[in-house]
A and B are shown apart, each in its own frame.
Chain A
Amino acid sequence: MKITLTVNGTAHALDVEPRRLLADVLRDDLGLTGTHLGCEHGICGACSVLMDGEAVRACLVLAVQCDGRSIRTVEGLAGPDGEPHPLQRAFSAEHALQCGFCTPGFLMVAAGALDADPDLADKPDAIEGVVGSNICRCTGYEPIRRAIARAAREKRETTA
């Protein structure tokens, strides 16, 4: 089936089998291997990407469902000049990653929340909801919470 996927701002015309998951098309057809498959049943969230700005599990969405839609992956998180996203800097600063396998998923769920809510820094519950959306086996989560809070504060300060 022929579809058009806009990924990180670039439109791609693709011919995909209906059964192929968005995650597999991103990884295999487009070579965007930053989106990882950790469980393939929607639990761990390592494959989370933004679909029209909203965080989704790329293993629970068929690529054909995304025809005409806009996808953002971890590869599209940095600025156009390669400047790291505040979340990327904050994750490093707070040591919010160890093996790094779950990291793109956390980054994208957090990026969606940050884009949707400029006041995320003032909403600890919402930040906890983001951290509580995915699984990490290395860090114990607290550094991830701190990193998202840090990026949210930084973003509010720069946009204020």
Chain B
Amino acid sequence: MKPASFDYAVPRTVAEAVQALGDTDRTAQVLAGGQSLILEMHLQRIRPQLVVDINRIPELDGMRVDGDELRVGALVRHATFESADAVPGPLGTLLSRAVVNIAHPPIRSRGTMAGSFGWAHPASEWCAIGVALDATVEVTGPDGARSIPARDYFLGPYRTARRPQELITAVRLPLLGENTGVGFIEHRRTHFCFAQVAVAAALTVTDGVISDARIGLVNSADRPLRARAAEQALIGADFAPLPEGPRLPDDHPFARAGRAAAQEDAAPLAEPYADVEYKRQAIAVLVGRTLTEAATDLRSRLAPRQGGPR
């Protein structure tokens, strides 16, 4: 399980990194957190000839709010998002609810959000949130910098629109307003495996009506997926009080959205212990539950402002 030999470059600037990646004679991999890359090298599924370690490029570190967007530098570690206060508003809540599903503390202290976008695993939590919220991936290559909308970025399992000579410098996520509630629920067999299915949801309510809905599906296709049919099923619906009991009635908008996500949006791939039929079931159930969580989150957000009990 030892990695095969490779050359190693430690650029100090983005320009140096791009120059290193521009060496087309050698297959190159960018090393940020390395928690997927080095794992895959152990498993002999990746054998790069050049590893470009970007950890010593100061300009890639740090996260900042830029207008109505959060800009997450390529070296920002997963663990940064464990506190809901690390990022303003409901986006901080969403990221904090998602991040605890990413492996465990020693992995989260190394792995990076941008790295997840670079790796593009279909079961990545960040990538599903990215497509749901219309994130933007910033890359810099020999021809300069460009921004790729998440919807155009993911091409398949581990396949993205990033060119081999390009370096991801940041991921930008739109901030969410206070009239948005968020939820994230992951379903997996044990704490130490990828999600069978997970769902990210953000519900925006204007004047008592759902005005926007964002639903991201994890491991529900060969790439991270935004559940547009499910979202459409919600927009314009009354933001009514949640029904009593843990189960949604079949005719509840959230349940309908779940069925739409499972049947129309998702294109699940069979895996050991989760065939397509089961995955569709799990997607339908989890979308309903995650929307419920988002609705509850929104009520708790609105309640203090309306002076009501939390």
A and B touch in the complex (CB under 8 A): yes
Produce 1/0 per residue, A27-71, CB < 8 A to B: 000000000000011110100100000111101111011000000
What is the size, in residues, of chain A's interface with B at 8 Å between Cβ atoms?
A: 29
Q: Is the pair A19, B53 in contact by a Cβ cutoff of 8 Å? A: no
What is the size, in residues, of chain B's interface with A at 8 Å between Cβ atoms?
A: 27
A17 at the interface (CB under 8 A from B): yes
Considering only residues 75-110 of chain A, those with a C-beta below 8 Å from chain B are: 109
Q: Is the pair B43, A45 in contact by a Cβ cutoff of 8 Å? A: no
Instruction: Tell me, in angstroms, the Cα distance from A135 to B191 when the chains sit together.
Output: 11
Contacts of B10 in A (CB 8 A): 64
CB distance from A127 to the nearest CB of B (A): 11
Instruction: Tell me, in angstroms, the Cα distance from A64 to B109 when the chains sit together.
Output: 18
Q: Is the pair B109, A54 in contact by a Cβ cutoff of 8 Å? A: yes
Q: Is the pair A42, B107 in contact by a Cβ cutoff of 8 Å? A: yes
CB distance from B77 to the nearest CB of A (A): 9
Q: Is the pair B3, A19 in contact by a Cβ cutoff of 8 Å? A: yes
Considering only residues 26-57 of chain B, those with a C-beta below 8 Å from chain A are: 31, 34-35, 38-39, 42-43, 51, 53, 55
Given contacts A21-B3, A57-B35, 5 further A-B pairs with CB under 8 A are: A1-B8, A41-B39, A57-B107, A59-B38, A109-B106
Contacts of A74 in B (CB 8 A): none
A129 at the interface (CB under 8 A from B): yes
Given A41-B43, A42-B39, decide whether A62 and B2 contact each other with a Cβ distance below 8 A.
Answer: no
Contacts of B53 in A (CB 8 A): 62, 64-65
Instruction: Tell me, in angstroms, the Cα distance from A119 to B105 when the chains sit together.
Output: 17
Instruction: Tell me, in angstroms, the Cα distance from A48 to B191 when the chains sit together.
Output: 18
Given A18-B7, A60-B35, decide whether A65 and B55 contact each other with a Cβ distance below 8 A.
Answer: yes
A4 at the interface (CB under 8 A from B): no
A133 at the interface (CB under 8 A from B): yes
Contacts of A62 in B (CB 8 A): 8, 31, 34, 38, 51, 53
Contacts of B192 in A (CB 8 A): 43, 135
Contacts of A130 in B (CB 8 A): 105
A121 at the interface (CB under 8 A from B): no
Contacts of A41 in B (CB 8 A): 1, 39, 42-43
Q: Is the pair B106, A19 in contact by a Cβ cutoff of 8 Å? A: no
Q: Is the pair A42, B105 in contact by a Cβ cutoff of 8 Å? A: no
